[in-house]
A and B are shown apart, each in its own frame.
Chain A
Amino acid sequence: MFDKILIANRGEIACRVIKTARRMGIKTVAVFSEADVRALHVDMADEAVNIGPAAAAQSYLVVDKIIDACKQTGAEAVHPGYGFLSENSAFAHALSKAGLVFIGPNPKAIEAMGDKIESKRFANAANVSTVPGYLGEINDGTEAVKIADEIGYPVMIKASAGGGGKGMRIAYSDAEVADGFMRARSEAKSSFGDDRVFIEKFIVNPRHIEIQVLGDKHGNVIHLGERECSIQRRNQKVIEEAPSPLLDAKTRKAMGEQAVALAKAVDYDSAGTVEFVAGQDRSFFFLEMNTRLQVEHPVTELVTGIDLVEQMIRVAAGETLAIKQNSLKLNGWAVESRIYAEDPYRNFMPSTGRLVSYRPPEEVSETETSVRNDTGVYEGGEISIYYDPMIAKLCTHAPTRKDAINQMADALDRFFIHGIQHNVPFLAAVMANERWRGGELATSFIDDEFPEGFDGAVASDEVKRTLVSAAAVLDHMENTRKREISGQMGGKSVQFNIERVVKLGDDWFDVTMGVTSDNSGTVIFQHSAADTPVEVRHSWVPGEPVWHGTIGEATVSVQVRRILNGFRLSHRGVEVEAHVYTRREAELARLMPVKVPPDTSKKLLCPMPGLVVSLAVDKGQEVKAGEQLCVIEAMKMENILRAERDSKVSIIHASPGDSLAVDAVIMEFE
């Protein structure tokens, strides 16, 4: 076994690999760019090597720097994580040339599976079910139409070298094929410098299901069951689970066997993933093979109890796989939610900056149920503009799918992040979605269910009851405390009025607080949103960001942010402002005029005397609220000015290098 390994990656995956290595008694070396000086993986590793500037192309992607770092620290092997150099066969070659071990498959397997056409050839040879299609070179539109006619419509035209939807076209008729072919080809040329395209059958309403495989250097390959990753947004996976609600034992076995056959065909000797596209009828077709550890591997680990990173390290060191296919048992259900630094209310625009607060739910690790949070950040850390905006992977594991989903909903309610925008409310809304809960998935799920984007979850009556109860109790706790201020007038002390009104968003609820016993926080009360008195128990004290308690029989968590005279509460993807009044206050509050938010100016003014460092937009460009517009340096400080609303830049008055006075017009909007 290795004494020391280097992790050629950053973020949560680097941290995750370090954890396993440490458990195995292997020393770890982290590499980091200048933007990651304070990153968590640097702190966790035994040693860390600076490999250059923030841009990945100058640091994490530079093979020589990684090899130098190994030599400098004496690391014997390299785990590449995912992304960066993980599927780069040249890197694997270079490592072996330098006498270092690549913790991943042999370079030939990477090469064979890296090319879409090549990989299909292998798949066909190994009798893996592939999408009906034509793999040869297609010369012109006429030929394309002929091939499409043979396959049957609809068909998909795709760049051989591509990925992520670039150079991809779907055609429902021969006319569309002719047109789509030319476009796909020119897009492929410009995006990848390779104009080869291929045509295949387009699966209607498809699902994304993948098989985890694991091989060693002695010819053994097993599969560890499937994961379903159909919840995607713009081809980016958002929620994954294992197993898939679609598969039955028979299909699972068939898919597993085909995946193993394919892996064996390329002498696969590490952890890898064979991706399939599946029809709702459980037909399945090989899509591609990822020759690395997948982001979503934890769900497989949770249901199999196998540490994939440990297995990767062991087989890389030459050990024989100790796990046998027939001894493998899938246990329960696991769900993973990817927490991204993005603004779900503004079309998921990336959000970067300082994590002012970061309080993930507590991890629980038991055989039956667990909550696992793979993360690479910490409170006070930074989400930089240079890398993937993923903050964490929150996973739950329970005996049934329903339990795992409910547990995920609870864990998301407890996940408190402040300082940047994040998609927790969106994930929570998906957890409450009936179609998701029913397991009726498709890769178009998000577009189908959120056609207008995400505007916050709609509060069900149950959620409203929860929030009204929580608000009443929060206010009660604060008020009780205020009544204990020093310096009060003698005589009878001021009493808390038990008749309250909770204003939740635009709804008003009358509440009568019952006998409030002690500081243990038991409150019994009647409110107009519930038929019978509600008993609430909790241990919240003012200042805590998350309120935990039981309302009636249900255990709930509600996030609490103080606002003027009230709270902003979030729970189950619902974010709402709550104000608690006495009856009289409520009566008067209802008299107050509703204010329309003021019209923000159509000009961007310079907020301070300063120097224009750079402009991030051009004339005529559409900008989203929050998007960076320009950087002004004042008092040697760089200040980023951002768009206040969605708009279009009509005129730009300033240019880089200009010295501006306060309130000088930098640009105007339409």
Chain B
Amino acid sequence: MQDILNELEERRAVARLGGGERRIEAQHKRGKLTARERIELLLDEGSFEEFDMFVEHRCSEFGMGETKIPGDGVVTGWGTVNGRTVYLFAKDFTVFGGSLSETHAKKITKIQDMALQNRAPCIGLFDAGGARIQEGVAALGGYGEVFLRNVLASGVIPQISVIMGPCAGGDVYSPAMTDFIFMVKDTSYMFVTGPDVVKTVTNETVSAEELGGASVHTTKSSIADNAYDNDVEALLQMRRFIDFLPSSNLAPVPELPSFDDGERVVASLDTIIPANPNQPYDMKELIGKVVDEGDFFEIQAAFARNIVIGFGRMEGRTVGFTANQPMVLAGVLDSDASRKAARFVRFCDCFSIPLVTFVDVPGFLPGTAQEYGGLIKHGAKLLFAFAEATVPKVTVITRKAYGGAYDVMSSKHIRGDVNYAWPSAEIAVMGPKGAAEILYRSELADAGKIEQRIKDYEDRFANPFVAAERGYIDEVIVPRNTRRRISRALNMLRNKRTENPWKKHDNIPL
């Protein structure tokens, strides 16, 4: 027996070394950690249970028969984050560059199947060179198996991808189908085809960083949801992030003991709307002062900054916030902002996370660039997402709610449960000036007259009461009571139950 135990320990030791000391050192030199080190950071101490540690590939071509390393380039298993179960796989760059073989893919799909069956989040840590070319079509088949499971699990369990090294070719599509992608600055990149192929095909000269680095994907393409300075920072943030997420679409949102009174009154919110209507203010201050302890996990902070999305807690329970940001482009809705928020709203709806929406929107962004870019359908995504959502929806209009954008932003008409407005709210088809100029086009030449028309329109519509008179606004609230009102509304809505008509699935304007 002792011999067997010794052999087990020896085999484990070999497997844990992955590609060996030299490759581990090289990994560290690049500023990256190894797969097992990353898992240690992500999971509770000592909670990791590894599967398939001794799996090896079965390829014998191109000399592969002589090189076999236990684990085959990916470390898989499960563990806990603050006591809650998660499944994970971490590409091991020190073993065949983390490349995907048939057996490597099987290890991943085993984990995916367990995560789905047992209803717990699945997390992938990516750092790999793509398909194992020596295996040819077997590797491609492996990818397909992984993709299928990503799709089947979508909306059932949260799936998170953290890109911590190269991620190219077939490797990019699995993250692309997960709920969130996070990256590490300077050491990770993601693209379908790399700089060499780009050069051959389009004659563009571009570096890996310029083509698919973290800054590209967090600011331009919006592929990544956030980026962090290094592996440690990223993985510790993942622990924070997971604390916000329910384990599955059937599980309730996680709850933390809260030290923040739901009844807390915030007097300084009474002055957040500047006296001058053309002056912006920071919507993140409002969010920070409303959520528990000012703790807000923003998603896609660097992309389409005219809308702010992210997770916070109200009285200890997760809430998804969507808010127009007057600091950027006056908080206008454009294609990027609409897409960004729509995907977030749908995520929250999948996982029973209540939606709180702060509205200060001057409308949709006009212009050829937007129209040619398909603003109609992109804007429709957000409208669709809010309308179909059946989770509790609480909306607060702080200032402008103009035009179609008013309807889009979780309005009463698309099943907002509780719709509040601050006294500073202006709910109208458009701004007073624009409206008066259209209504009284014939008087445009007379500055005095048109001035009066603008004022008349302002007096009539630049307030929340016209909407409140129709019941479009449930109540006009004092800004300082916003946290209290939202807390109470969310408590009141905790047992909300509503269902959309049966369908195979909807047909959101993609």
- A interface residues (Cβ-Cβ under 8 A, vs B): 37-38, 354-357, 378-382, 481-489, 493-494, 497, 541-543, 562, 564-565, 582, 584-585, 588-589, 591-593, 595, 607-609, 633-639
- If the complex has contacts A585-B232, A634-B329, are A482 and B31 also in contact, measured as CB distance less than 8 A? no
Check A592–B230 contact: CB distance below 8 A: yes
CA distance A381 to B271 in the complex (A): 7
Check B186–A595 contact: CB distance below 8 A: yes
Query: Which bucket holds chain B's interface residue count?
Result: 35 or more
Q: Which residues of A contact B331 (CB under 8 A)?
A: 635
- If the complex has contacts A380-B267, A588-B41, are A483 and B83 also in contact, measured as CB distance less than 8 A? yes
Q: At the interface with chain A, which of B131-139, B291-299, B437-445, B486-494?
A: B291-299
Check A565–B45 contact: CB distance below 8 A: no
Which among A481, A493, A637, A639 is the interface contact of B83 at CB below 8 angstroms?
A493
9 A-B pairs, CB-CB below 8 angstroms? Answer: A356-B268, A380-B269, A482-B82, A482-B243, A542-B259, A542-B295, A592-B233, A608-B328, A637-B330
**Interface positions of B from 1 to 41, Cβ below 8 Å from A:** 28, 31, 33, 37, 40-41
Name the residue of chain B whose CB is nearest to the CB of A35: B275
Task: Tell me if B285 is interfacial: C-beta within 8 Å of chain A.
Answer: yes
- Shortest B126–chain A CB gap in Å is 18
Q: Which residues of A contact B41 (CB under 8 A)?
A: 585, 588
Name the residue of chain A whose CB is nearest to the CB of B330: A635
Check A379–B267 contact: CB distance below 8 A: yes
Q: Which of B28, B275, B329 has the most CB of A within 10 A?
A: B329
**Interface positions of B from 465 to 506, Cβ below 8 Å from A:** none
- If the complex has contacts A38-B271, A489-B83, are A565 and B236 also in contact, measured as CB distance less than 8 A? yes
- If the complex has contacts A564-B228, A564-B237, A637-B280, are A588 and B294 also in contact, measured as CB distance less than 8 A? no
Task: Tell me if B256 is interfacial: C-beta within 8 Å of chain A.
Answer: yes
Task: Tell me if B229 is interfacial: C-beta within 8 Å of chain A.
Answer: yes
Which among B269, B294, B330 is the interface contact of A634 at CB below 8 angstroms?
B330
CA distance A38 to B274 in the complex (A): 10
Check B232–A589 contact: CB distance below 8 A: yes
Q: Which residues of A contact B269 (CB under 8 A)?
A: 380
Task: Tell me if B65 is interfacial: C-beta within 8 Å of chain A.
Answer: no
- If the complex has contacts A488-B83, A589-B232, are A543 and B294 also in contact, measured as CB distance less than 8 A? yes
CA distance A228 to B240 in the complex (A): 52
- Shortest A575–chain B CB gap in Å is 19
Name the residue of chain B whose CB is nearest to the CB of A479: B82
Check A37–B330 contact: CB distance below 8 A: no
Check A484–B256 contact: CB distance below 8 A: yes
Task: Tell me if B97 is interfacial: C-beta within 8 Å of chain A.
Answer: no
Q: Which of A485, A582, A638 has the most CB of B within 10 A?
A: A485
- If the complex has contacts A485-B243, A584-B40, A589-B232, are A356 and B259 also in contact, measured as CB distance less than 8 A? no
Check B259–A541 contact: CB distance below 8 A: yes
CA distance A656 to B332 in the complex (A): 24
- If the complex has contacts A592-B231, A634-B329, are A487 and B256 also in contact, measured as CB distance less than 8 A? no
- Shortest A495–chain B CB gap in Å is 8
Check B247–A635 contact: CB distance below 8 A: no
- If the complex has contacts A356-B268, A543-B292, A564-B237, are A486 and B255 also in contact, measured as CB distance less than 8 A? yes
Task: Tell me if B44 is interfacial: C-beta within 8 Å of chain A.
Answer: yes
Check A592–B31 contact: CB distance below 8 A: yes
Q: Which residues of A contact B431 (CB under 8 A)?
A: 636
**Interface positions of B from 327 to 345, Cβ below 8 Å from A:** 327-332
CA distance A220 to B329 in the complex (A): 65
Name the residue of chain A whose CB is nearest to the CB of B305: A607
Q: Which residues of A contact B236 (CB under 8 A)?
A: 565, 585
- If the complex has contacts A38-B275, A487-B84, are A565 and B257 also in contact, measured as CB distance less than 8 A? no
CA distance A636 to B431 in the complex (A): 10
Which 7 A-B residue pairs are closest in the complex by CB-CB distance?
Answer: A380-B268, A543-B293, A635-B330, A488-B83, A541-B259, A593-B31, A380-B271
Q: Which residues of B contact A486 (CB under 8 A)?
A: 252, 254-256
Name the residue of chain B whose CB is nearest to the CB of A545: B294
**Interface positions of B from 165 to 185, Cβ below 8 Å from A:** 185
Check A487–B251 contact: CB distance below 8 A: yes
CA distance A482 to B37 in the complex (A): 22
Q: Which residues of B contact A542 (CB under 8 A)?
A: 259, 293, 295
Check A562–B295 contact: CB distance below 8 A: yes
CA distance A483 to B45 in the complex (A): 13
- Shortest B251–chain A CB gap in Å is 6
Which among A481, A487, A635 is the interface contact of B254 at CB below 8 angstroms?
A487
Name the residue of chain B whose CB is nearest to the CB of A561: B294
Check B230–A593 contact: CB distance below 8 A: yes
Interface 1/0s, chain B 415-434, versus A by CB < 8 A? 00000000000000001000
Interface 1/0s, chain B 43-76, versus A by CB < 8 A? 0110100000000000000000000000000000
Which among B228, B255, B281, B326 is the interface contact of A485 at CB below 8 angstroms?
B255
**Interface positions of B from 233 to 272, Cβ below 8 Å from A:** 233, 236-237, 240, 243, 246-247, 251-252, 254-257, 259-260, 267-272
